[in-house]
Amino acid sequence: MNLHDHWIDGVSVAPADGARLERVSPADGRVIAAAALGTAGDLDAAVVAARRAFDTGPWTTLPGSQRGEVLLRLAALIEENLEALAFLEAEEAGKPLAVGRSELQFGIELIRYAASLASGLSGRLLSESGPEAMGLVLQQPLGVIGVICPWNYPAVCLLQKLPFALAAGCAVVAKPSELTAGTTVQIARLAREAGLPDGQFNVVIGTGEVVGEAMTAHPGIDKISFTGSGRIGRRIAAKCGESLKRYSLELGGKGANIIFADADLDAAVEGAFQGFTINKGEECCAGSRILVEESIAGDFTARLLARCAAARLGGVRDEEAEIGPLIHEQHLQKVLSFIEGARADGARLLCGGERLTGGDYAKGTYLPPTIFTDVRPDMTLFREEVFGPVAALMTFRTLDEAVQIANDTTYGLANGIWTGSLDKAMAMTRRLQSGMLYVNTYLELVPQLPFGGMKSSGMGHENGPEGLQEFLTTRSAFIRLRTAF
């Protein structure tokens, strides 16, 4: 069993009162970890360390290229320890090991990309005010950043924030989920080994009700960067508004995966399957509303159901598994309640719908791919984020109808388009109301592209140059010279 302690000012810190949360494996019910449960006092100690590091430490004043070198060393260390980190990530979050590996590899790409941005920071010189005056526009690190990460992608969500904040010159206090804290703590250790100064990156494990609330209210934190539910995101926005603290929010979604008749059907079936089952559906960008052009609906549905029937579910040690267990029993019961609600509303179940029991599944929280049809826009299944491998299959006749169905949601995080027509793809790209759009693929990311939502899916961006801008502040200086230049 792993013990996860806080990481504050470059050292491991055990919980002062001994309070820990035991993490039970979602695959088989074993106790696999015990994480420290932090207090407001632990959070304060971490903020004090981060504040000192930012205000007086060397990191902020280092040339960006040198900050980038440390980040590159961190990426190399994660790569050296990839297998151990991937297993830790997969076991705690309920993923097949291959999925854990791919997520850590993407995290490495994010760090290397952020390192490349660090050396490119620049301001502007304005000389239009006459020969005896000039203006300077400065971009400087924002300060101490409070990072709050969810349990579904512990490493990726951290690494979409941390390296960009560090590249900008900020200090960071991170609160991982108490359920999946392992990789965050280990990355903090590796960051120190890579040469990051003490206090520059701190980790306080704990609940949102205690550590998250303390972080949002703490006057020593300059910005909150949050990934999680819309309910908590709204609370964070309200709390930050009280003190005018900056914040960025990456929240939930209810994506539409739209398949036109001229699509490559084999690719579209696989893309639709992956779109709602990847990470067992615990995915904010999930394409959980599958919209199929009516003329191909029968063929597409038959192929998709066959693909779901062939899917292999299993735990971290099953190298052939595609879909892992849901995060814990309470969440499984919540997803099952959505399924029962869809049945009660009149939706027709095509596959799945029941937890797997017996054999290797007896002590786990496994739910097979579940698809409903005859879904109406007024149904809860259409409107609310389920966060499990559950999809609503619907049909459309025209492009306009597909746009109307897809946009009929308060969310705006991601949508997918499958078509052989570039004109159709561009028309849909312009009209669909989401921050992310995938054409003939789904949930494929590269670090260079900004990631963020519209409407109630959040505000702000991660990744891309925009991800760095989230951790910078702009200042201006007007300078009157004694002599002309």
Q: Which residues are catalytic?
A: 250, 284
In sequence order, what are the beta bridge partners of 438? Answer: 416
What is the C-alpha to C-alpha distance for residues 389 and 167, in angstroms, rounded to an integer?
Answer: 36
Contact 224, 215 (CB under 8 A): yes
Q: Quick count: other Cβ atoms within 10 Å of Cβ 407?
A: 16
Positive or negative, the Cα torsion across 429, 435, 441, 446?
positive
Contact 4, 183 (CB under 8 A): no
Q: Both ends of the chain: CA-CA distance in Å?
A: 68
Tokens standing for residue 398 = 């025209």
Could you give phi then psi for residue 37, rounded to 5 degrees? Answer: -105, 110
Q: Coil, helix or strand for 434?
A: coil
DSSP structure class, residue 361: G
What is the C-alpha to C-alpha distance for residues 288 and 259, in angstroms, rounded to an integer?
Answer: 13
Tokens standing for residue 328 = 């814990």
In 3D space, the residue among 347, 348, 350, 259 whose CA is nearest the CA of residue 307 turns out to be 350
- Which amino acid belongs to residue 407? N
In 3D space, the residue among 146, 162, 157, 158 whose CA is nearest the CA of residue 196 turns out to be 162
Tokens standing for residue 467 = 């991800």
What is the C-alpha to C-alpha distance for residues 313 and 325, in angstroms, rounded to an integer?
Answer: 8
